[in-house]
Amino acid sequence: MEAAIKRYRIMALIVGVMLLILVFVAVPLRYIWDKPGASAVISPTHGILYMVYLVTAFDLYRRAGWQLQKMVLMVAAGLVPFLAFYVEHRIVREARADLARTPTPAEA
């Protein structure tokens, strides 16, 4: 499960940064200064990375056996600026705590 945690963590940070760039750079450039170039690149890039993030989030959710609310929180993290960083920290901490409590096959 540690590999799933690492994949989730990397994708959460990438999607969080891309969302901040999209919201605070590309969108103002497009709608305030009428320069759509950055938005034309960053918007679809964020969309594709968000889909990859959803796959990694679902993989971690499935492996950890969590309730649906946790998956909903992970989905929202890629949609709300700054939320990705908080959720990533919380999810990784909880996943590692769950992993530490789970006995290995040798211990079972």
Q: Where are the chain's structural domains?
A: 2-100
Q: Nearest-CA neighbor of 25 among 12, 40, 13?
A: 40
In whole angstroms, what is the distance from residue 106 CA to residue 104 CA?
5
Whole-structure pTM value:
0.87
Q: Nearest-CA neighbor of 49 among 7, 92, 6, 1?
A: 7
Confidence class for position 102, pLDDT limits 50, 70, 90: confident
Amino acid 104: pLDDT: 59
Phi-psi region of 2 (alpha: psi -120 to 50; beta: other; left: phi over 0): alpha
- Give per-residue pLDDT as tens, 70-96: 999 999 988 898 999 999 999 999 999
In whole angstroms, what is the distance from residue 92 CA to residue 9 CA?
7
DSSP code for 102: S
